[in-house]
Amino acid sequence: MAATTKVSPPKSDWPDEVFQQLRDADVRHISYVPDAGHSRLIQHSIDDPDVVTTMLTTEEEGIAIAAGAWLGGMRSAVLMQSSGVGNCINMLSLPVQSRSPLLMIVTMRGEWAEFNPWQVPMGQAVEASLEAIGVLTVRADSGDEAVAAVAQAAVMAFDGDQQVAVLLSQKMLGKKTW
């Protein structure tokens, strides 16, 4: 008999816990491009009166806003989908060269059960692209890993002046459907 692989449903409370990790790290600004994988995290940010949110028209704006927030004394995080990482490659030279902290949380596409072939090339290139420009990556494949990854990435970014991207696996987020 062939072995079957069971896929556990995504941990449902991870966005709540990730948001708490961001608040514990004194993140007071969240930039985002609307994304179903980040929807609860975005809503928590909007609902919190102590958090400033900025909806972006393109992801690289978030990189510049995070640098400006840091210069103004505020910690920021940027939420985006993996397809948006390609839009940011040139702008990522700003925090890398200035050694200003950057915390990105990236929902991955182009991997687990992807139905959209346009998502695959960038999804497969995200980690290598970020590392090539000097951004550290931390991958999370479960809700528990996401919470721990965000907590540690925040320390690395804000206490170590690093540029860090937490990559949230598409497997963790579940199959996307239309």
Work out the burial of residue 123: count CB atoms within 10 Å of its CB; fewer than 13 is exposed, 13-18 middle, 19 or more buried.
buried
Domain at 42, CATH number? 3.40.50.970
Is residue 6 included in any domain, yes or no?
no
Q: Print pLDDT tens along the chain (178 aa).
A: 444 444 444 447 999 999 999 999 999 999 999 988 899 999 999 999 999 999 999 999 999 999 999 999 999 999 999 999 999 999 999 999 999 999 999 998 768 776 777 776 687 889 999 999 999 999 999 999 999 999 999 999 999 999 999 999 888 876 666 6
Work out the burial of residue 81: count CB atoms within 10 Å of its CB; fewer than 13 is exposed, 13-18 middle, 19 or more buried.
buried
* Token pair of 12 as six digits: 């449902």
pTM of the predicted model as reported, rounded to 2 decimal places: 0.89
Domain assignment of residue 39, given as a range: 14-173
Is residue 169 included in any domain, yes or no?
yes
Cα separation of 135 and 33, whole Å?
20
Task: Please count the structural domains in the chain.
Answer: 1
